[in-house]
């Protein structure tokens, strides 16, 4: 069987790739497990040197890798370069901090000595999406390798070139053979991989449906999972917000990766006194954004990753309009053969509409009116999702209180759009998943937190 890599900006086939047979997959997993038996004994100094070398490789190839992303999933090249640079940063972060993060922790008890050790567990399966085809993988891979684990990757079927490039980068950096392998397989083969005796844990970033299936299978086999799923991030805009700062952050947050981000701003909940001014400025700035060829450095918004995803997004928009939302900008498909969808603004959005209840994975903003602060927070929390959120107010203490205590999300930013950072834990609550990536908490997800007690 083959899988096609298709350029979403043109509809043209880039290249076909042959999927691996079951036996090829099993042989690769066995090879990775064998590599782990030695890799787990490596020193933090060895791991650190190789992670820094991998960062160097990424930086040296960033233009090439950004072009590959643009061709396979439509990411504007300037954003692709930034993504590769961020991958390098997470490699350097764990190169600098893994040793201290996984150092033995002395616990005083009646024993002569007792402590907690953090030890690698083996081969981790990563099931990853197409929207950040390098960053999603490296934010798992860097801490996994730093902790002494090894990994195998099942990447999204529309970015096979990116998936194989990651394997090349690991090899080019000088890591031992087989500490990481890409598995070119379809989604229907994931369960067989989870069943393999050498797979110790699974991390998935993707849809709720995919997360549920993976968690169910891993649960049957008592294998740990970390899930980062969908989001419908709410940005609460209060009456004392700095309007220019707020609108820019809200537009930038909505158009991250052409709107195809789990932590992209999606619902803008604005208190009534500021609603009209916010809406007008927001529409003006969205209208000014340039949609076009992702290989053009002036492009702000590229195509959606696939035509079927674009069509699904458009249906959510049209269903919301039929339910009473008003389309103030965009909302029309101009080319059926390519995957472009214009920056779109919906107002008068209310609960019960797809634009409120569902994740809109594209450049579509839902503006929602709130009567006051309490109402705005209630609307923000009225979601099955809980990944990220933001609050905009000139009163920083007020914003901090709301972000820390009232917003139901895995992260909440004040006067800035939500983004991931290698230094900070990243993940969600409710149907946005569980577990954490990045930071101290991320590297400790897939280790044996081992008690050692000496009488």
Question: Could you tell me which of 325, 407, 350, 349 has the C-alpha nearest to residue 373?
Answer: 407
Tell me which of 91, 150, 198, 262 is the catalytic residue.
262
Secondary structure class of 397 (helix, strand, coil)? helix
How far apart CA 147 and CA 124 sit, in angstroms, is: 12
Q: What is each CA distance from 159 to 68, 130, 186, 230, in whole angstroms?
A: 9, 6, 12, 20
How far apart CA 26 and CA 184 sit, in angstroms, is: 12
Lay out the sheet containing 113-120: strands in order across.
105-106, 113-120, 447-454
Question: Could you tell me which of 44, 141, 148, 134 has the C-alpha nearest to residue 97?
Answer: 44
Angle, CA 305 vertex, CA 320 and CA 58 arms, to 5°: 135
Tokens, residue 231: 């989001």
Quote the crossing angle between the two packed helices 44-60 and 62-73, to the nearest 10°: 70
How far apart CA 454 and CA 180 sit, in angstroms, is: 36
The β-bridge relationship of strands 389-392 and 233-237 is: parallel
| Residue 162 annotated among the catalytic residues of the structure | no
Instruction: For residue 351, give every residue at least 6 positions away whose Cβ sits within 8 Å of its Cβ, in sequence order, or none.
Output: 357, 379, 382
Residues 107, 16 contacting (CB under 8 angstroms): no
Tell me which of 72, 228, 437, 445 is the catalytic residue.
228
Instruction: For residue 256, give every residue at least 6 positions away whose Cβ sits within 8 Å of its Cβ, in sequence order, or none.
Output: 79, 263, 264, 417, 419
DSSP secondary structure letters along 296-314: STT-SB---S-HHHHHHHH
How far apart CA 433 and CA 225 sit, in angstroms, is: 10
| Lookup result for tokens 């909440």 | 412
| Residue 228 annotated among the catalytic residues of the structure | yes
Residues 84, 60 contacting (CB under 8 angstroms): no
Residues 89, 424 contacting (CB under 8 angstroms): no
Catalytic residue IDs = 228, 262
């Amino acid at each position: 069987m083959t899988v096609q890599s298709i350029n979403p900006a043109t509809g043209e086939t880039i290249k076909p790739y042959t999927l691996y047979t079951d036996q090829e997959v099993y042989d690769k997993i066995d090879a990775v497990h064998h590599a782990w038996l030695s890799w787990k004994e490596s020193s933090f100094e060895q791991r650190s040197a190789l992670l820094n070398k991998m960062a160097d490789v990424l930086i040296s190839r960033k233009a090439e890798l950004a072009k590959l992303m643009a061709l396979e999933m439509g990411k504007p090249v300037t954003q692709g370069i930034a993504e590769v640079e961020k991958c390098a940063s997470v490699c350097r972060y764990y190169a600098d901090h893994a040793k201290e993060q996984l150092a033995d922790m002395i616990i005083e008890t009646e024993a002569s000595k007792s402590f907690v050790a953090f030890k690698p567990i083996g081969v981790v399966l990563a099931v990853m999406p197409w929207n950040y085809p390098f960053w999603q993988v490296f934010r798992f891979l860097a801490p996994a390798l730093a902790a002494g684990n090894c990994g195998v990757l099942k990447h999204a079927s529309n970015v096979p070139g990116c998936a194989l490039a990651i394997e090349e980068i690991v090899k080019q950096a000088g890591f031992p053979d087989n500490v990481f392998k890409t598995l070119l397989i379809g989604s229907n083969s994931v369960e067989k991989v989870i069943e393999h005796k050498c797979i110790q844990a699974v991390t998935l970033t993707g849809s709720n449906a995919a997360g549920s299936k993976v968690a169910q299978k891993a649960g049957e086999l008592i294998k740990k999972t970390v899930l980062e799923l969908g989001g419908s991030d709410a940005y609460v805009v209060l009456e004392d917000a700095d309007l220019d700062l707020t609108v820019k952050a809200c537009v930038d947050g909505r158009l991250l990766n052409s709107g195809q981000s789990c932590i992209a701003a999606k619902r803008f909940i604005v208190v009534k006194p500021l609603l009209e001014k916010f809406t007008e400025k927001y529409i003006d700035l969205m209208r000014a954004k340039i949609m076009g060829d992702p290989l053009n450095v002036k492009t702000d918004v590229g195509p959606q990753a696939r035509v079927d995803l674009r069509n699904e997004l458009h249906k959510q928009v049209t269903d919301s309009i039929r339910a009473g939302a008003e389309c103030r900008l965009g909302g029309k498909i101009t080319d059926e053969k390519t995957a472009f969808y214009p920056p779109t603004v919906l107002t008068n959005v209310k609960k019960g509409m797809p634009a409120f209840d569902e994740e809109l994975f594209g450049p579509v903003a839902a503006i929602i009116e709130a009567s006051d602060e309490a109402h705005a927070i209630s609307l923000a929390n009225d979601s099955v999702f809980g990944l990220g959120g933001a609050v905009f107010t000139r009163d920083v203490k007020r914003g901090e209180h709301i972000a820390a205590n009232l917003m139901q999300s895995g992260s909440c930013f004040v006067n800035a759009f939500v983004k991931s950072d290698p230094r900070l834990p990243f993940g969600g609550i409710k149907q946005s998943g569980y577990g954490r990536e990045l930071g101290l908490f991320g590297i400790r997800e897939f280790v044996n937190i081992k008690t050692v007690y000496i009488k």
